[in-house]
Structure formats: structure tokens, C-alpha cells
Amino acid sequence: MPSIFIYGSCVSRDPFEKPSDFKLEGYFARSSLASAFSEPPAPGTPLPDVEALSSNFQKRMLETDIKKSLPALLKSTPFDVLVVDFIDERMSTLQLGESTITESEELKATGYPIPSSDVYEPWSETGLALRLQGIRALAGVVDPSKIIVNRVYWATVDTDGVPFPRSRWFDRNNRLLYDLYKEIEKIPGVRFIDYPGGAPMAAAKHKWGRQPYHYSELANDHFLAELKRLTGSEDELRAP
């Protein structure tokens, strides 16, 4: 049974809610590539009050983002495959001196003051450059042959055939995803899960709400089938 570590979002975590042929070793979300591989905040820097959050999961995600614990987690956790998706890259980042942290909803919920002058949108020159740097750092921490990218885009329509309104925000995020996939595509050994038509279909009704990045069960099944194929576990199940 292949062991999986996820660095991404619910897009890649949700499929594992159903029985599968994989063992989930770890899941890390809500942390941009621009943040996860940056320097930790300098000693004495005022930091968000993590304890202001009620959810232990949210506390752990925010604390890991602030302390830059992901590289150490990736090195210390035994796994066969690192599944990556870039949906959370829609979040802006905040500069704290030489450090970068993710402007997540968890960060905002702590009441931490966020000066607009220190915030970089993902598609800004600085925001994109830091993300591309993060991709290269990721490949330096994890053997690229272990990385499988869940290459998803924001869906244009849901399972009821209802389209999502097109907007500058929508198009910017899909363009950002395209640019990030093109960058990680340059790294030899990295593999991809793609979807018929280029984007999975969003769920008309989803436990996290209707969003262009909350996908259908059909999309989740496709993801698991492709993951099985890429890891060779499908052949193992067929072996006598």
C-alpha cells in the first residue's frame, strides 16, 4: 500500500475520505510555496496569536506556516509519494522582514494586523517570483521522482451544468496555476495527474460549499485511479 504525503489543499485531500489503496502519512495545507520555504521570522518579531483559533487543525496549519516546518516534515516523514496541488496559491503573502507568511483565512481570524504595503498578491512580480523560487526549493527537499502534481484548474461549470461567473479573479488564478505548472514541469522526474478537458468538474453541492475548486466525486475517483496507475499499485492489486 503506497504511502502518501499531501502538500496542497482539500482538492487532493478530499478523495482520501473514501476507502482507497493508499495510506495517508501527512497533510499540510494553507501555506503558499512563497511562504513554506522562506526563512522563519526573526526573533522578537510580533507574531499572530495561534491560540486565538478554535480548530486544532487550523492552529497546526498556521503554526507550521509561521515556523516553516514543512521542509523538516518532508524530510522526517516516510512516504512513497508527495502529492502536490497549487489551489491554495490564490492566497496573498505577507512580508515580515526577511520572512514571508501566507495571508490565509486562519491568519486573518487571529486579528493579526496586516499592513497592505507588506502584502503581495500571488500574480504580482514579487508574489510570482517567490512561488517559482518555492517550487525549486521543494524539488531540493523531495526527490522529484516522488512528486506527483494534481494538475487542477478552477472549473468553469458544476455537475448541474451551472457555470461559474467569469471574472478577472477567476482568470488570474487559472493563469497563475498554468504558470506554476509550467515551472514545475521543467523539473525532470515530476509526474502529473491530468483531467479530461483540462479541468475537473466542480460539485454542485459540496461539503465545503460550491466553489470552482471544490470538485465532484467523479473528479475524485479519476484522481485516485490515476494515482493508482502512476504508483503501480493497480498492477500490484492484479498480481496473483
pLDDT (tens digit per residue) in 13-53 = 999 998 888 999 999 999 999 999 999 999 999 999 999 99
Q: Which domain holds residue 49?
A: 3-238
Mean pLDDT over the full length of the chain = 92
What is the tens place of the pLDDT at every residue in 119-157?
Answer: 999 999 999 999 999 999 999 999 999 999 999 999 999
3-state secondary structure (DSSP) of residue 9: coil
Q: Which residue, 7, 54, 17, 60, is CA-closest to 203? A: 17
* Residue 188: CATH number of its domain: 3.40.50
Regarding pTM above 0.75, the answer is yes
Count CA atoms closer than 13 A to 5's CA, side-chain side. Answer: 18
- Tell how far CA 208 is from the center of its chain: 16
Answer yes or no: are the C-beta atoms of 215 and 203 closer than 8 Å.
Answer: yes
- Give me the number of domains the chain comprises: 1
Residues 18 and 220: beta-carbon distance below 8 Å: yes
Mean pLDDT of 64-85: 96
Sign of the CA dihedral running 78, 11, 102, 32: positive
